[in-house]
């Protein structure tokens, strides 16, 4: 920013701070700021405007102090609108303060342009920082979700279970298929139980993917049992006219495991009864 403009802004900083704090006060009752207490709001606003003025005194807009402050805002969950509005209000306040104290029109426009470009720079910087942090969060959550999406658990020798929870989309369906086949080979499973208790909706696509997966499992020499079909899901499957007649289904995981043990010629027996 131009040196003269900077001095001008600094000269009227008290006036700017007062009018800025007045303006920013009106946003306090916004929905997104509901869970922030009055005291915290006041101190953060104070902090914000002082950080801005400190940054103003330095040439570099990518100032470490302001960066740290924004980082803190992000961590505490302050909305981006607070920061952008704050900067817009800062622009208004400083332009107002300067124009009130100077009569020269031409000078005023020059000041305005200088302040505008400075504020825009900081806003861009800030939005970058915010969206960077969001992208990072989304990426991490996606990775975490992927790890959870299709686990195959060997429960007995030759028997594995794949519990599915949540929505199944195409990407996840692909993972289910891969993990099933890899797991069947790796654990030498003869029977795989697919548990869909936690799948909220079974539409034709989900059914299609499950049918395909079980067909693939059959090709590598194992059997799939579909378990955990809730009554309402059973009705919608019938309504949709999906034919699941080709592979065995059981209502609960427990029954599925009993069947699987039977298929591998084993059973669970009660020790007491055997002794008695």
Partner 1 sequence: MQVQTHVDINSEWGIVAARQAGRKLAREIGFGSVDQARITTAISELARNIYLYANQGQIKIEEVSAGGKQGMKIIASDEGPGIKDLRRVMEDGFTTSGGLGAGLPGVKRLMDDFSIESEVEQGTVITAVKWLR
- Where do contacts with partner 1 occur on this chain (CB under 8 A)? 167, 169-170, 200-205, 207-208, 211, 231-233, 235-236, 239-242
CB of 113 to partner 1, least distance (A): 39
For the CB of residue 133, give the shortest distance to partner 1 in the complex, in Å.
21
Output the smallest distance, CB 78 to partner 1, in A: 26
- If the CB atoms of residues 76 and 240 are measured against partner 1, the closer one turns out to be 240
CA distance 203 to 153: 25
Measured CA to CA, the distance from residue 241 to residue 167 in angstroms comes to 21
For partner 1, the closer of residues 31 and 232 by Cβ is: 232
Count CA atoms closer than 13 A to 42's CA, side-chain side.
3
* CA–CA separation, 19 and 3 (whole Å): 23
**In contact, 161 and 193? CB cutoff 8 Å:** yes
Q: In the bound complex, what is the minimum distance in angstroms from residue 81's beta carbon to partner 1?
A: 23
Q: Which two tokens stand for residue 267?
A: 């059973």
When the beta carbons of 10 and 138 are compared against partner 1, the nearer one is 138
Pick between residue 93 and residue 173 the one whose CB is nearest to partner 1. Answer: 173
Nearest of 171, 175, 233, 161 to residue 199 by alpha carbon: 233
Q: How far is the CB of 204 from partner 1 (least distance, A)?
A: 5
Cβ distance to partner 1 smaller for residue 4 or 146: 146
Name 18's Cβ contacts closer than 8 Å, sequence gap at least 6: none
Query: What is the rounded CA–CA span in Å between residue 163 and residue 143?
Result: 19
């Amino acid at each position: 920013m131009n040196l003269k403009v900077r001095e001008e802004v600094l000269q009227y900083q008290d006036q700017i701070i007062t009018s800025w704090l007045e303006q920013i006060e009106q946003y306090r009752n916004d929905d997104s700021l509901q869970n922030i207490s009055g005291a915290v709001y006041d101190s953060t606003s104070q902090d914000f405007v002082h950080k801005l003025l400190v940054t103003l005194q330095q040439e570099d807009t990518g100032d470490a102090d302001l960066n740290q402050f924004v980082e803190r805002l992000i961590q505490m969950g302050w909305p981006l609108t607070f920061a952008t509005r704050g900067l817009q209000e800062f622009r208004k306040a400083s332009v107002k303060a300067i124009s009130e104290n100077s009569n020269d029109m031409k000078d005023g426009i020059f000041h305005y342009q200088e302040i505008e470009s400075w504020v825009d720079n900081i806003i861009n910087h800030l939005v970058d920082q915010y969206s960077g942090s969001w992208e990072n969060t989304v990426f991490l959550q996606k990775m975490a979700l992927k790890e959870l999406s299709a686990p195959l658990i060997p429960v007995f020798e030759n028997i594995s279970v794949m519990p599915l929870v949540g929505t199944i989309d195409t990407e996840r369906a692909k993972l289910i298929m891969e993990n099933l086949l890899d797991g069947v080979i790796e654990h030498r499973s003869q029977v795989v139980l697919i548990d869909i208790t936690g799948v909220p909706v079974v539409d034709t696509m989900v059914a299609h993917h499950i049918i395909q997966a079980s067909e693939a499992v059959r090709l590598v020499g194992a059997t799939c049992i579909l378990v955990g079909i809730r009554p309402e899901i059973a009705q919608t499957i019938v309504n949709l006219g999906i034919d699941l007649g080709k592979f065995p289904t059981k209502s609960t995981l427990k029954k599925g495991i009993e069947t699987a043990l039977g298929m591998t010629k084993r059973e669970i027996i009660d020790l007491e009864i055997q002794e008695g």
